[in-house]
Amino acid sequence: MAKQKKAPRPKAQTPKGFRDYFGTEVTERAHMLKTIADVYHQYGFDALESSAVETVEALGKFLPDVDRPNEGVFAWQDEDDAWMALRYDLTAPLARVYAQYRNDLPLPYRRYAMGPVWRNEKPGPGRYRQFYQCDADTVGAASVAADAEICAMLSDTLERVGIPRGDYLVRVNNRKVLNGVLETMGLSDEAQAADVLRTIDKFDKVGESGVRELLGKGRLDASGAFIDGVGLSADQAEPVIAFLTSKADQVAKTFENLRGAVGGSQMGAEGIAELEQIAELLDAGGYGADRIEIDPSVVRGLGYYTGPVFEAELTFEILDEKGRKRQFGSVSGGGRYDDLVKRFTGQAVPATGVSIGVDRLLAALREKGRIGGTVQGPVVVTVMDRDRMADYQAMVTELRNAGIRAEVYLGNPKNFGNQLKYADKRESPVAVIEGGDEKERGVIQIKDLILGAKLAENASLEEWKERPSQYEVARGDLVAKVREILDLHT
């Protein structure tokens, strides 16, 4: 009888496009999410936690450049033949939730949601298939006051998490203005109009001259390859150029330029009027152009949105992987999407919202040095006698009841040196020691591990060398002495 082969051991590796997060990263993210939630809550938004799984039918086809509903998402067929998928954002689930519970929800419905989303896309540097989003949306409010409020809340959120004024800008545009431009151009071919939209989306990369070339016959890209153009005449392309270059130093001049770009289009005029109202509301709230500005170059996947769109851009410079300076870029975006709920109800329901990319915002704070340090570990109560675990457990309970993070060493206590190595690896500030002799005398040893590490690095440090790194105190002074050391290093 042939010997049966053993099944190969699985490889211990993270799936492609995913990553693992450890202590400090998880703690930093949790702190940021709480800070953002506090701002959203302050603005009157209620929390919503919906399922991570939706039917493919409910998710709809809103990912860019896909031909099938379940392309670009992680999908599977259930036992009843229904297709299910992991959510790719937090907006599509909101549309389903509102349509399902609309008779029980207040109108307008203001909700915020936070959590991971999944996209079955090709991963790349800094681009993962699972990432966190932080959304806030208002459903059922047609007034652009709802859009202005979202912009103000986004500005407040960035400042609250640690992005100072001057290091960010919330930029606002309106899809209706662009529709007015397309109407003025007289484009009746939907495919050609789509090509124009894609070209507009490249404005920040290729500039005015590049857009002119791409709207016309085409252009050579950086690699030398020729990119076919849309095929418009110079006169046809002019309204697009006027739209993209309409931003002026004064917002009133920007609106004047936009009116020239949309010509006699009623829809374009409506979009400009909405932008003017948003600017007026923000100005009344004290949000000047140093925080939020009208910028017609913002496009944000305009095919998805039906009205105002906004994007938060971080304006400070960083060095890329080749050491070149560049701006950090966008960390958040959103806009008005009045047609999404209609898929379920058959009736138009106005909605507007914003989504913050948590991972990018965390990366920005690390670049600014606002986060990225190590999180202080727990006080470690060492074990000198395994038969006295109850004594050690009593100590750690006292520390925890006093609000001090603490743990008992639960490994093999035979080698005391290994316990201190463990404490060092845990970034522990203090170790508590009680052997048999200390027990008899009613005392304990408190070891200042932070001071000990500094002395080990440089024993001549004047500010440290006179201080003892270990103290003997009465057992009853455990909490007081540990807190004294923690306060010293805070």
Residues 6+ apart with CB under 8 A from 375: 23, 24, 27, 427
Query: How many residues comprise the chain?
Result: 490
Segment holding 380, helix H or strand E: strand 379-381
The DSSP-derived string for 78-95 is -TTS-EEEE-SSSHHHHH
Q: Give the chain's domains with CATH numbers.
A: 23-192+239-367 (3.30.930.10), 379-489 (3.40.50.800)
Burial class (CB in 10 A: 0-12, 13-18, 19+), 331: buried
**Dihedral sign (CA 400, 406, 412, 413):** negative
How many Å apart are CA 230 and CA 195, to the nearest integer?
A: 6
10-47 burial, b for 16+ CB within 10 Å, e for fewer? eeeeeeebeeeeeeebeebbeebbeebbebbeebebee
How many Å apart are CA 398 and CA 391, to the nearest integer?
A: 11
Could you give the dihedral angle defined by the CA atoms of residues 366, 369, 372 and 374, in that order, rounded to the nearest 10 degrees? 180
Nearest Cα to 180, choosing from 273, 298, 247?
273
**Dihedral sign (CA 82, 83, 85, 87):** negative
Q: Name the DSSP class of 277.
A: H
How many Å apart are CA 287 and CA 289, to the nearest integer?
A: 7
Q: H/E/C letters for each residue in 121-188?
A: CCCECCECCEEEEEEEEEECCCCCHHHHHHHHHHHHHHHHHCCCCCCEEEEEEEHHHHHHHHHHHCCC
pLDDT for the residue numbered 196: 80
pLDDT per residue as tens, the chain (490 positions): 566 778 888 899 989 989 998 888 898 999 999 999 999 999 999 999 999 999 888 887 655 545 555 578 888 888 887 888 999 999 999 999 999 999 999 999 999 999 999 998 888 777 789 999 999 999 999 999 999 999 999 999 999 999 999 999 999 999 899 888 888 887 766 777 777 877 877 787 788 888 888 888 888 777 777 778 777 878 878 888 888 888 888 889 999 989 988 888 899 999 999 999 999 999 999 999 999 999 988 876 656 788 999 999 998 877 666 666 677 788 999 999 888 888 888 888 999 999 999 988 988 888 877 776 667 899 999 999 989 999 999 999 999 999 999 999 999 988 999 999 999 999 999 999 999 999 999 999 999 998 887 776 665 555 555 667 899 999 999 999 999 999 988 7
